Amino acid sequence: MSEKHNPADGIAFVNGAYVPLAEASIPLVDRGFVRSDATYDVVHVWNGRFFRLDDYIERFHDSMRALRMSLPFSREQIAEILTECVRRSGLRDAYVQMTCTRGIPARGSRDPRQCENRFYAFAQPFVWIANEEQRRDGLKMVISSVQRIAPEAVDTRVKNFHWLDLTMGIFEAYDNDATVPVLVDGKGHITEGPGFNIFVVQRGELATPDRGVFEGMTRRTVLEFAGELGIACAPRPVTIEELREADEVFLTSTAGGVLPVTVIDGRIYGNGKPGPVTQRLSELYWARHNEGWKSKVIDYGAQAA
């Protein structure tokens, strides 16, 4: 490891080698860069344990299959690579990404079938989409005028780098003294925001959009918790009016878990603090992490120099 790089800043796996994240690179002509022709997934490590690692890797394979990609790595080998990135970094709380790009086309060819798909991975310090104050008191959100890309055009169930609609939504949120946007489908329904799913709570029942969204792992976890706790929860179309009239609103993301929203379009929800259902689910989410639920312990051993 180069002396000028601290492993805790991040470790990447590129071209079969482990390198400092700051030195990792991909070819400029890789279609993953020039055409956004790639898929990826992100799993997190908390207190030295991967959360739902097998589920994330399975979903990563589902995305590759949908995009007609493949890699010469088994699920077990991918798990080993991700684990080694974390082990070498020494990070106990980490954001760990796996990526498959289409690869480099043959010279003069536009045929994606001629590309050899490429695998990249990295571990870096855990990433939050909300700071400590926002996690405690709630996020400010806007209902964006930007429409989410239609699932008929790009299957939003496949994690991808098509983020321009989400990025424009972020700018709109900042322009309106908010932190996050939720995008709409142009038909009166909400979809998702940049890096998160959204839930509404009305009369003690949960609902979350079922179309035009990436079906996040934290979203899946909350759906499981709702069944366990006896809370009615339905993935279904959620209208803009339902969002505005909700008793509580929260987000779910690998980069933060269950996150309260307390202001939407300038309207304060409840008393401006997280509601009871949101708090209950958030507390359970982190309690399960501390219990080691669906987790895999990382053996850091004698970390590589």
Give residue 21's pLDDT. Answer: 98
The C-alpha atoms of residue 141 and residue 203 are separated, in whole angstroms, by 21
Give residue 78's pLDDT. Answer: 98
Give residue 302's pLDDT. Answer: 64
Closest CA to 285 of 302, 264, 260: 260
Q: Which domains, and CATH codes, for the chain?
A: 7-125 (3.30.470.10), 132-291 (3.20.10.10)
Give residue 193's pLDDT. Answer: 98
Residues of the chain under the 50 pLDDT cut? 1, 304-305
Give residue 270's pLDDT. Answer: 80
For residues 103-136, one letter each, b for 16 or more C-beta atoms within 10 angstroms of the residue's C-beta and e for the rest, the string is: bbbeeeeeebeebebbbbbbbbebbebbeeebbe
- Per-residue pLDDT of 129-152, as tens digits, reads 999 999 999 999 999 999 999 999
Give residue 304's pLDDT. Answer: 46
Does the global pTM surpass 0.75?
yes
